[in-house]
Amino acid sequence: MPQDKLKLNVRQTLLIGLGFFASSLLWSLYNSFVPLILQDFIASTATVGLIMTIDNVFGVIFQPYFGARSDKTRTRFGRRMPYILIGAPICAVLFAFIPQMKVLWLLMLVIIIFNFIMSIWRAPMIALMPDLTPDPLRSKANGLINLMGGAASIIAFLVGGRIAHSYGRGATFLMGSVIMLLAVGLLFVLIKENRLNPRLMTPPDTQEESGDQSFFGLGGFRKLSSDSRRSLFFLLLAIFFWFCAYNAVETFFTSYATTVLGQSEGQAAMLLAFFSVSFVIFAVPSGIIADRIGRRRTILLGLIGLVAVFIPLLFVESLWGIRALLLLGGMFWAGININSLPMVLEMAGENELGTFTGYYYFFSFSASIASPILFGLVRDLSGSFRSLFVYAPIAFALALLAILQVTHAWEKKTQPGDSGNQ
């Protein structure tokens, strides 16, 4: 089908996004409440912070592997759905138990198993969208799915916070578990992988499969031409750098606002919400813009915009000025984040989408581990949280330099319309 006649199936995309909606809801609740639960047992903030990186460590180690494994899975339920159907319900049950643990070692056991199971089904769940969506429509689809993720976070903070205030943490975690089970149930009933794309039932080429036996599924990378490998490497390096910047801001902005601007913790969080709300608003438009001018150009504009936004934050102390800059920042971040995964997946064949999704998460989760440590060193040397607005623009600028090296034309392994029932 010609690209100009392709039209995104919005209903199908929203149904595919149910898995991302449910996992985003759980992670928002997890990141908000688990540190508070841990502080009931552990006095050291550093130790609590170390425990909170378990999900990132497991993501780096296990997500590439299970993404690659799902590429080679063939069942009557599909190749991604078995991982979701097994992993999501187990996570829902474990999640409900987290606030109920009265002994530290039991709490840690539940947290570790929960994070491990989440790392099993996250990459297959994300790969479900590109499986069923033609390449030219993936930015638009990713925008819709990230809109659902943003809505899940808002539900977690507003509804979950109110439930926790009225009925305690346990009720909030139970709410997350119930929504997870309902969302995955609807996903299973309404999305049939094999029916929507019968080619997913075809066993992968034997030679292709035998060449990809490494733990991280590096066979997909090795099969690319040298120019394509170079472009993919620099794209993944750019992803690492821009997530270094983003994670530092996400983690330490409230510390900056409380220590430098004199805001309360609640006011600091509300300031950062301007960035998040703007991202949600521009998630879908970012996919549409990329459809018009290309993903690489949209990402370049986003990186240039974020460098221009974060440098003034080093000097601006007016709250209205900071809010305006953060609103702009969320818009530019949407241009980057919505289009980065689809750009990586442009390199993948139909039987490699889970593998390349694993590459994306390996570099983004590596940044989540490295960036808090790197900025912590910068802050210790500078003595001020203002250095956040030196660190972040430099990291975004490094990402910009990396993305400029992504010059080789992507090798198209499928024609538009080959995947998905649009």
Q: Is residue 299 part of a domain?
A: yes
| pLDDT tens sequence across 173-218 | 999 999 999 999 999 998 887 776 656 556 655 444 444 445 556 6
- Pair 405, 325 in one domain: yes
Which of 71-75, 261-265, 366-370, 390-394 shows the lowest per-residue confidence on average (mean pLDDT)?
261-265
- Pair 49, 133 in one domain: yes
Q: Identity (one letter) of the amino acid at 153?
A: S
| pLDDT tens sequence across 338-382 | 999 899 888 877 778 888 888 898 899 899 888 888 888 888 888
Q: What interhelical angle do 265-293 and 226-259 show, nearest 10?
A: 150
| 389 burial type by CB count under 10 A (0-12 exposed, 13-18 middle, 19+ buried) | buried
Q: Show which of 162, 194, 226 is a domain's final residue.
A: 194
Q: Is residue 150 part of a domain?
A: yes
What pLDDT was estimated at residue 418? 38
- Pair 228, 170 in one domain: no
Domain that holds residue 362: 216-410
| pLDDT tens sequence across 239-271 | 999 999 998 888 788 778 888 888 876 677 678
What pLDDT was estimated at residue 299? 95
- Pair 175, 230 in one domain: no
Give the angle subtended at the CA of 360 by the CAs of 279 and 338, to the nearest 5°.
25
Answer yes or no: are the C-beta atoms of 307 and 396 closer than 8 Å.
Answer: yes
- In this structure, is the dihedral angle defined by the CA atoms of residues 326, 328, 331 and 336, taken in order, positive or negative? negative
| Tokens matching residue 303 | 């990186």
Query: Has residue 332 got a pLDDT over 80?
Result: yes
- Pair 257, 382 in one domain: yes
What pLDDT was estimated at residue 180? 93
- Pair 188, 258 in one domain: no
Which H or E run contains 383? none
Q: Report phi then psi at 314, rounded to 5.
A: -65, -25
Query: Has residue 325 got a pLDDT over 50?
Result: yes
- Pair 133, 7 in one domain: yes
Which H or E run contains 205? none
- Highest average pLDDT, of 67-76, 116-125, 229-238, 391-400, comes from 391-400
| Average pLDDT over the chain, rounded to an integer | 84
* Average pLDDT, integer, range 276-290: 89
Question: Distances in Å between the alpha carbon of 45 and those of 36, 40, 51, 374?
Answer: 10, 11, 10, 17
Q: Is residue 202 part of a domain?
A: no
- Pair 345, 400 in one domain: yes
| Tokens matching residue 265 | 């913790």
Please state the domain count of the chain.
2
- Pair 242, 384 in one domain: yes
- Pair 184, 246 in one domain: no
Find the CATH number of the domain harbouring 98.
1.20.1250.20
- Pair 243, 354 in one domain: yes
